[in-house]
Amino acid sequence: MNIAIIGTGYVGLVTGVCLSEIGHDVTCLDINSEKVEMLKKGISPIYEPGLEELMLKNIEAGRLKFTDSHIIGLKDKDVVYIAVGTPQSEDGSANLSYIYKAARDIGQNITRDVTVVTKSTVPLGTNYKVRELVMANLQDNYLVEAVSNPEFLREGSAVYDSFNGDRIVIGADDAEAANIIEEINKPFGLPILKTSISSAEMIKYAANAFLATKISFINEVANLSEKVGADVSEVAQGIGMDGRIGGKFLNAGIGYGGSCFPKDTHALVKISQDHGMDFHLLKSVIAINENQKTMLVKKAKERLGSLEGKRIALLGLAFKPETDDMREAASIAVSRQLIDEGAHVVGYDPIAAENAKSILPEEVQYAEQIEDAIKEADAVFILTDWKEITEKALLMSGLFMEEPIVFDGRNCYTAEEAEKLHVEYISIGRSSVVPTGEKEQESVLAVSF
Ligand code: UDX
């Protein structure tokens, strides 16, 4: 099978690289020629563990190519994946203009019968529209089939997930088209579920909406736990042991971010409205998430009073660890709130700081090293649970701050750890730790080394 992929964003690039890794000939197409030049050299525009190694390997093996020409990229291709962005429009719906452009480009440039596979997350019915558009633009009498093959990769572990995911969903109304895509994916060795096109489109939205619901649910349980003296980590463990509930995605925190959950929950609410239905539950999930982003600043104000002139270290700026993606990151809302309160904000992120600079308010300053952010801070906020942060933030606060106080939006530490290091520790859905007695530098050092 000759495969082309339109769009070398996060989904398209990972898909292209992993399909070449299992032995397929893949050409990735992107209209951005500068990006294509970088990709040809094996340089990934995104930080994704393991991706560049596989890129280089498969470029060298001649299985993975990049081009900015639709004529070259779509010539003699049997299967074309669409993996372009579907950003959120102002009314919450998914903007499909890139998808439709890709469909027209396929129609105009394809040179044989083709199966068009949509990887992008698209509202119900879009795959039918894609097939129509491809057909309307054909230069000759080719057969066109559409397949919905939604993506479930998580940023930061996308390569791992490609080979270890829970399932591959293939939505097709034509059995032959479904078989073609099944054969392509078989070497991944993952369970394959074949469905109709509409079900596959719905599965993607429903999966993300359900995971977002789990997070908002546990966040509300966390907020209540604080009031009644329960510990949300213990509660999550206790409910998660019930196989019907499952222990994953029950980490309370400062809300979900990223390129998928916020966009897809809004889109599903909009799709429901368009079909005369009010998705009350999902609207609440979104509202809870917005509220959750304000929790750390509320706690800081309750504890410290005015934040005017206070120096706050923001540790972890990306929306989650192992990525440089800043989309809908908690740091955006939290830094804005802090600056509005008159605080001085110093951000630190092991990888995402450069991206953060163009997204966070211009008042935010940046530290090169984690200790530089913590030294001289009046309070430390943990926003992303990068390994470096979970290893060092509490310890360094204990060492370098005169009156160490940490507001942890990711529940990285236990009460015992905070007590040992003599750090005042305020997290989500758990009792605060207020150290007693005098802080002895020796005892902190004894714990650390
Ligand atoms: C998500 C889906 O997991 C993936 O299947 C889909 O293809 C794309 O969207 P991603 O956005 O990369 O993946 O990250 P994910 O690990 O799911 O985390 C999303 C957000 O939820 C992050 O902000 C994370 O911090 C937050 N989260 C996750 C929690 O707050 N608590 C949890 O228990 C899990």
Tell me: the pLDDT tens digits for 197-250? 999 999 999 999 999 999 999 999 999 999 999 999 999 999 999 999 999 999
> Does the fold of domain 204-292 match that of domain 2-195?
no
Domain 204-292 matching CATH 1.10.1040.10: the answer reads yes
Per-residue pLDDT, 320: 96
What does residue 172 show for φ and ψ, rounded to 5 degrees?
-145, 145
For residue 104, what is the DSSP state?
Answer: H
Task: Supply the pTM of this predicted model.
Answer: 0.93
Active site residue 260: yes
Distance (Å, whole) CA 174 – CA 393: 54
Residue 446 confidence (pLDDT)? 57
Determine the distance separating the centroid of ligand 1 and the alpha carbon of 101, expressed in angstroms. 29
CB 130 within 8 A of CB 171: no
Domain residue ranges of the chain, discontinuous segments joined by +: 2-195, 204-292, 295-448
Q: What is the CATH number of domain 295-448?
A: 3.40.50.720
Residues pairing with 28 in the sheet: 5, 66
Question: Angle at the Cα of 436 (from 314 to 374), degrees rounded to 5?
Answer: 20
Please answer whether residues 188 and 167 qualify as being in contact, where contact means their C-beta atoms are separated by less than 8 angstroms: no
Residue among 154, 232, 322, 428 to mutate when testing ligand 1 (max atoms within 8 A of CB)? 154
Q: In CATH, what number does 2-195 get? A: 3.40.50.720
Strands (E), 135-240: 144-148, 168-172, 192-195
Q: pLDDT tens-digit profile of 148-183?
A: 999 999 989 999 999 999 999 999 999 999 999 999
Ligand 1, pocket residues at CB < 6 Å: 151-155, 208, 211, 215, 249-251, 253, 256-258, 260-261, 319-320
Residue-level pLDDT at 449: 41
ipTM (interface pTM): 0.98
pLDDT at 88: 85
